[in-house]
């Protein structure tokens, strides 16, 4: 595939302090841009990262046709570059696009675009366990027209941001009992831009009470645990691990499905089923709720220290050995080419 490359004259990498990165604030030298017009994807181009021009009437600004993915590139000690299950990301990107009446992107543009972009910006992928290059492929509607209908023009773009081992600080969560994230028959399963903006206000209310995130419950009854803002959620009761099944409200997380597989591989008792909030509260009261953690590309596995539901609050116990750190290590060992990869999840680019 033919990708035209326009390189930067001077890299800005020297100006970046890689030991002190805020997530998603610094971008690499290059980005990939591919336009869709007249029913076709044109040839992608790699150009210097920088501002782009859009009409103020571009549909993305008005009707929210925008979907994205979140991935990471990892480097091993030999300097080889790896992605984790990129086939799942392009499938999910296209599933998100379909739900928003946006055109599917040919898988080849995705894979080949990532490859060439990563090789060009390879210096930005630092070696060392925990360092990575966060990749943000996204598609937005660019047609300058404000009638409420799908766009005829789109852009697929990949931007890249160097990331360090992600530590979000101590995370405590509120279990939603009023606001909700997604409706049955809605777009909750898609990585659609609008799903995120709608969480910011309820999350800001949680912040005021000293909680960092929200575990969303089903919008109908608020009786069932679903997922967090950018993470799927796992509960450990005794030695059993439980996570909610995916449905049209819940994002089918790649980290989640990998953890489910790893649990099976390692004879950890895992149940994928509906989880009542009341069940978790009872397990907490009986001292049987041992762990609560989120899973997602950014943090891999994020232990949750405590939760609040209505007037009930609970602090998770401090354990010597946790499922959270077990899975985090297993996953990172695969991602950084430090262990065997029996499922073929690691892809060298």
Chain residues in the site for its own copies (CB under 8 A): 22-25, 27, 31, 49-57, 60-66, 68, 98-101, 134, 136, 138, 140-141, 144-150, 157, 159, 161, 176, 178-187, 192-201, 203-204, 219-220, 222, 229-230
Instruction: For ligand PLP, give the closer residue by CB, 67 or 277.
Output: 67
Which partner from the list its own copies, ligand PLP, none does 130 bind, CB cut-off 5 to 8 Å by kind? none
User: At its nearest, how many Å lie between ligand PLP and the CB of residue 6?
Assistant: 30
Instruction: For ligand PLP, give the closer residue by CB, 126 or 257.
Output: 257
Which partner from the list its own copies, ligand PLP, none does 24 bind, CB cut-off 5 to 8 Å by kind? its own copies
User: At its nearest, how many Å lie between its own copies and the CB of residue 145?
Assistant: 5
Strand partners, 146: none
The number of residues in the chain equals 349
Which partner from the list ligand PLP, its own copies, none does 281 bind, CB cut-off 5 to 8 Å by kind? none
Which partner from the list its own copies, ligand PLP, none does 187 bind, CB cut-off 5 to 8 Å by kind? its own copies
Q: Which residues are near ligand PLP by CB under 6 A?
A: 70, 191, 227, 230-232, 251, 253-256, 295-297
For residues 153 and 89, the answer to whether their CB atoms sit within 8 Å is: no
Instruction: For its own copies, give the closer residue by CB, 86 or 202.
Output: 202
3-class secondary structure, 219: coil
Instruction: For its own copies, give the closer residue by CB, 31 or 237.
Output: 31
Which partner from the list ligand PLP, its own copies, none does 331 bind, CB cut-off 5 to 8 Å by kind? none
Q: Are strands 306-309 and 172-175 parallel, antiparallel or unpaired?
A: parallel
Residue 97 belongs to what H/E stretch? helix 86-99
Q: How far apart are CA 204 and CA 206, in angstroms?
A: 5
b/e sequence 8-22, b meaning 16+ C-beta within 10 Å: beebeeeeeeeeebe
Report the half-sphere exposure of 55 (CA within 13 A, side-chain side).
Answer: 12
Q: How far apart are CA 96 and CA 69, in angstroms?
A: 9
User: At its nearest, how many Å lie between ligand PLP and the CB of residue 299?
Assistant: 9
User: At its nearest, how many Å lie between ligand PLP and the CB of residue 199?
Assistant: 8
Q: How far apart are CA 182 and CA 192, in angstroms?
A: 11
3-class secondary structure, 198: helix
* Backbone phi, psi, residue 232, to 5°: -80, 165
User: Apex CA 23: angle with CA 21 and CA 28, to 5°?
Assistant: 75
User: At its nearest, how many Å lie between ligand PLP and the CB of residue 219?
Assistant: 15
């Amino acid at each position: 595939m033919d990708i035209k490359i326009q390189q930067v004259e001077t890299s800005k990498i020297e100006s970046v302090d890689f030991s002190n990165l805020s997530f998603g604030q610094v971008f690499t030298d290059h980005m990939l841009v591919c336009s869709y017009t007249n029913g076709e994807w044109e040839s992608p181009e790699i150009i210097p990262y920088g501002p782009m021009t859009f009409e103020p009437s571009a549909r993305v600004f008005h009707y929210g046709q925008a979907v994205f993915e979140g991935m990471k590139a990892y480097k091993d000690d030999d300097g080889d570059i790896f992605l984790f299950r990129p086939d799942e990301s392009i499938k999910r990107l296209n599933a998100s696009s379909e739900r928003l009446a946006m055109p599917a992107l040919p898988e080849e543009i995705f894979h080949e675009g990532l490859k060439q972009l990563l090789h060009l910006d390879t210096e930005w992928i630092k070696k060392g366990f925990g360092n990575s290059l966060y990749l943000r492929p996204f598609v937005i509607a660019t047609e300058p027209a404000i009638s409420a209908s799908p766009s005829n023009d789109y852009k697929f773009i990949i931007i890249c941001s160097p990331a360090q081992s992600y530590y979000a600080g101590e995370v405590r969560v509120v279990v939603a009992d009023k606001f909700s994230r997604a409706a049955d028959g809605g777009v909750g399963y898609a990585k659609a831009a609008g799903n995120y903006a709608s969480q910011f206000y309820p999350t800001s209310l949680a912040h005021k009470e000293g909680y960092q995130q929200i575990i969303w419950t089903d919008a109908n009854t608020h009786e069932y645990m679903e997922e967090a803002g950018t993470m799927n959620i796992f509960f450990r009761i005794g030695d059993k691990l439980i996570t909610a099944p995916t449905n049209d409200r819940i994002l089918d997380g790649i980290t989640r499905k990998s953890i489910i597989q790893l649990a099976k591989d390692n004879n950890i008792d895992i149940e994928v089923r509906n989880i009542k909030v009341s069940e978790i509260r009872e397990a907490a009261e009986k001292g049987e709720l041992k762990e609560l953690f989120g899973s997602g590309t950014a943090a891999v596995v994020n232990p949750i220290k405590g939760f609040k539901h209505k007037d009930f609050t609970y602090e998770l116990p401090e354990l010597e050995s946790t499922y959270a750190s077990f899975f985090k290590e297993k996953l990172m060992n695969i991602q950084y080419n430090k262990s065997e990869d029996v499922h073929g999840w690691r892809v060298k680019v």
